[in-house]
């Protein structure tokens, strides 16, 4: 990445952090977008898991199952991640992110089984 790209990425993560602080101040316990931002960038992984669990409680949709599976995976809870990923895939929603997450989680489960 170039310096400009690094700077832009840092500013964007700062903005995500501000959004999270506002959500904490407002008592928000669910936010799928923050879950994915944190998990994708390997930051605030405990917070991502907390928000994903709240998201599932609040919405109980395939996107929430995917977010929770991804947060669990990033927190090294592979078996649980697999279980929630299966629920995310149950309705065969044509979401490329689901397939990517499922593939990564499945691969991690296979590695840990060996």
Encode pLDDT of 91-112 as tens digits: 899 999 999 999 999 999 999 8
Q: Is residue 5 part of a domain?
A: no
Q: How many CB atoms lie within 10 A of CB 38?
A: 26
Are the CB atoms for 88 and 69 separated by under 8 Å?
yes
Q: Is residue 20 part of a domain?
A: no
Among the residues of the chain, which ranges form H helices?
A: 3-25, 32-40, 45-59, 62-74, 78-89, 96-113
pLDDT at 37 over 80: yes
pLDDT digits 0-9 by tens, 57-68: 999 999 999 999
What pLDDT does 80 receive? 98
pTM tops 0.85: yes
What pLDDT does 1 receive? 66
Residue 29 gets which letter from DSSP? -
Are the CB atoms for 33 and 64 separated by under 8 Å?
no
The range of the structural domain enclosing residue 73 comes to 30-113
Q: Is residue 108 part of a domain?
A: yes
Q: What is the CATH number of the domain that holds 46?
A: 1.25.40
How many domains is the chain built from?
A: 1
What pLDDT does 2 receive? 82
């Amino acid at each position: 990445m170039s310096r400009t790209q690094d700077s832009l990425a840092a500013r964007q993560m700062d903005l995500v952090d501000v959004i999270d602080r506002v959500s904490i101040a407002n008592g928000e316990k669910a936010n799928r977008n923050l879950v994915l931002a944190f998990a994708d960038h390997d930051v605030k992984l405990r917070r991502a898991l907390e928000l994903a669990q709240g998201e599932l409680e609040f919405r109980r949709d395939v996107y929430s199952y995917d977010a929770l599976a991804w947060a669990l995976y990033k927190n090294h809870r592979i078996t649980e991640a697999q279980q929630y990923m299966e629920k995310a895939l149950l309705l065969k929603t044509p979401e490329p992110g689901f397939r990517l997450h499922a593939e990564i989680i499945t691969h991690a489960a296979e590695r840990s089984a060996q």
